[in-house]
Structure 1
């Protein structure tokens, strides 16, 4: 089974000139989703993971499943004003402007072994900002793990300090 065959291109979404990689066909097929989940787990290997951190919102599909299978906790990283308890935030650069991400202050303990997960690595801004949040709380990033990477956007450059693992390259 080829996982790429379950990812469809949506032209001009969310704006003209963008080709969006839509994983909903993969998510609705139990065999494809299981194959992706098992392959993502294989990327981690036998490394000890205490927390899996997933970014809003597409990191919420496989992130909790990875956590469950790794016997780890799941930690959401969200856009501003979505988390109810005390939190820290980071502002990061986008191609045109800035954005903000937040994490609960008590989500990561000093020394926690952390897996960062998202479904796609594009420019790397969101993943880099998430790494910064985790490290500010004392977490040790074991790996940044992605379903797919858009190689032409060079997002891996922003994450050179971390081990990066990906299933699919575009």
Structure 2
């Protein structure tokens, strides 16, 4: 009998990522993930609804942390600056997880279904950020425009971070991307 080991969800996530990288997302089964983690498929389903959810399990916390950072931004800043600060907090939190983010990105980029899910997640974040801005007194269409633009800037910065040099700092890439956006709007 196998002795109980802690962090089943973490072990399943690690096993899934290894298999997705080795074999591809579509070629990997839940049974294989569970076996690699030393668990059963039944245990897998206690933590994840399906094998796709392994890649998106932290989405709710990710969004909640960004919205908390938005709420904590100074009332005196513009809508776009508040979005920049909120997304900057997310970049700081993701920064130490570069290799995991890179692997996750490569799995998602290789599968149309997963890319669609990632876009849906980003669209949901933009809607939540716009609502957060409206809660701060920003009117429409400015709230939606700032939120949608901020999420687009974050996506571009994140993609640069995971696909270019290893020494890039996500927070700096994001700040640079917002600066590039400002220069585009002045030109």
Give the alignment's TM-score, normalised by structure 1.
Answer: 0.31
Superposition TM-score, scaled by structure 2 size:
0.29
Structure with the higher fraction of residues in helix conformation: 2
Instruction: From the CA coordinates, give the structure whose radius of gyration is larger.
Output: 2
Give the structure with the higher percent strand. Answer: 1
